[in-house]
Amino acid sequence: MIKRLSFLSLIFAAVILSSCHSKRAVMKGQPGEVVAPQPSIAEKYAQLLGVDQSQIQNGRLYAFIDQWMGTPYKFGGQDHDGIDCSGLSQLLEQEVYAINLPRTTSQQVLVIKRKYEEELQEGDLVFFDYDGRKFGHVGVYLQNGYYVHAGSKGVAIAKLHDPYMYKYFSRCGSLSNTPDTSAGK
């Protein structure tokens, strides 16, 4: 009887653990490679961003976001126990786009090619003068006016034109190898 109970407990634990794992998005392909998203991921993020499901094309990007969504904010953190905004943008750019990005927002703003807001594309960086600091916060632009970032509520997707955050919006751009020396001006 005890052996049977132990066996049933093991099966129950395996089912629970495997069902938890199946809810996580899987990052397929290699960094820098665009792969089709899992249908459930495409549907989920199409709804969140208010776009047609066919517009969710970068499976690595949305699987990455899904893996990190809800991770708590932790200054200086860069793991699932806690992550800060620049750590999230650095990891995302590296794991999704194969781009090495500096660790801090003050360094990250130096490696972008400035753009107008209307020119933003998926993967571009958006900066905010937040907490009294110039370029004190960074997020990664997605589409349809949304970006992903690590803020006080953890890793989340937010609308760029959110009345609270937009007043702090200060700069945006795509990643380039040419430092922008006017960032501090």
Q: For the sheet containing 112-114, what is the strand order?
A: 112-114, 169-175, 125-130, 133-141, 146-151, 154-159
Instruction: Decide if 169 contacts 128 (C-beta within 8 A).
Output: yes
Concerning whether 21 is annotated as a catalytic residue, the answer is no
Q: Catalytic one among 20, 21, 149, 161?
A: 149
Bridge-based pairing state of the strands 133-141 and 125-130: antiparallel
Catalytic annotation present for 172 = no
Out of 20, 21, 137, 172, which one is annotated catalytic? 137
- Show the 3-state SS of 4-60: HHHHHHHHHHHHHHHHHHHCCCCCCCCCCCCCCCCHHHHHHHHHHHCCCHHHCCCHH
Element housing 93 (H / E):
helix 85-97
The residues annotated as belonging to the active site are: 85, 137, 149
